[in-house]
Amino acid sequence: MKITFLGLGIMGSQMAHNLAKNNANLTVYNRTPIDYSLFKAENVTIADSLENAVKDADIVFSMLSTPEAVEEVFFGNGKVLKLMKDHAIWADCTTVNPSFSKQAFEQAKLNNIRFLDTPVSGSKPQAQNAELIFFVGGNAETFNEIKPYLNMMGKKTILVGDIGKGASLKMLVNVMLAQSMAIFSEAVLFGESMGISKDFLLDLLPNLVVSAPFTKFKAEGIRNDNYEVQFPLEWMHKDLHLATLTAYEVNQPLFLANLTKELYAGAKNNGMERLDFSAIFKHLKNN
């Protein structure tokens, strides 16, 4: 099987290296020039054009920044869907909204390409250690064909349902992330206001069953007033926006998610858009 990986940013490069380490027959390509030396050392094929990258591939993985970038590369100017072999598979790992995945599926079908939405749960460290979780939407048979490769990059693959369901679940998870972070932040601030020491709270709360476990890592950032970006606050705000937009489409009231969205909007307007989303703590502290 010939595998191609498009998009070698923070996440994509780690994922591609894990395919290489598992001896996949791999070709990689990034639209903007990057340093390919590590890939060369791994005997990975470096394509010299988008066309050469995808034309012989059995499976194309993509990990791009936004739905707009995916559209541009696959069914806009990049025309990857037209360049790919008949019946080949396109698995898109990018975080997009469910309706975009459905649109991508329709475009793929027109070009006789099989599509799956395969977004991931996890960030840089999980990508590096092949500990990602893949949320997959689409056909079970197609999923089984790509599963061995997903397993090289992650620790778990979940077929959530048909097209768009991978994207739906990913959106859901990000919304929970945003809200749990806000709740945790308000709790720490409230505790401090009642006279409990911040360090005590940051040590204790994340280890209680009432707190989402990821707050353990964010607590260290809060302790040191360090909001170095892992997942940018402005993207979290965008995901909250996409979620409430989708909730409107499916007639689901979301009281807390909408309010959380506005809290992040305030943080963004106060110059925290490029900090980690845990900077919502810093914003709430000032308000």
Binding mask 32-71 for a second copy (x = CB under 8 A): ----------------------------------------
Q: Retrieve residue 175's tokens.
A: 């919304």
Provide the CA 83 distance to its chain's centre, in angstroms. 26
SS (H, E, C) 10-24: HHHHHHHHHHHHCCC
Which residue in the set 34, 152, 229, 247 belongs to the binding site for a second copy (CB under 8 A)? 247
Shortest separation between residue 92's beta carbon and a second copy, angstroms:
18
Task: Map the footprint of a second copy across residues 81-140, applying CB under 8 A.
Answer: 98, 121, 133
CA distance 154 to 132: 4
Shortest separation between residue 204's beta carbon and a second copy, angstroms:
7
Give whichever of 4 and 179 is closer to a second copy, judged by the CB atom.
179
Stretch of residues binding a second copy (CB under 8 A), selected from 4-12, 77-85, 103-111, 265-273? 265-273
Active-site annotation holder among 170, 238, 268, 282? 170
> Is residue 136 within 8 Å of residue 145, measured between CB atoms?
no
> Is residue 44 within 8 Å of residue 20, measured between CB atoms?
yes
CA distance 203 to 220: 9
Is 170 annotated in the active site?
A: yes
Shortest separation between residue 141's beta carbon and a second copy, angstroms:
20
Can you spell out the DSSP letters for 53-76?
A: HHTT-SEEEE--SSHHHHHHHHHS
CA distance 256 to 252: 12
> Is residue 117 within 8 Å of residue 96, measured between CB atoms?
yes
Shortest separation between residue 127's beta carbon and a second copy, angstroms:
15
Contact status: 214 vs a second copy (CB under 8 A): yes
Give whichever of 41 and 140 is closer to a second copy, judged by the CB atom.
140
The helix or strand, by DSSP H or E, that contains position 154, with its residue range, turns out to be strand 154-161
Residues that bind a second copy (CB under 8 A): 98, 121, 133, 158, 160-162, 165, 168-169, 172-173, 175-177, 179-180, 182-184, 186-187, 189-191, 193-197, 200, 204-205, 208-214, 241, 243-248, 250-263, 265-266, 268-270, 284, 286-287
Report the catalytic residues.
170
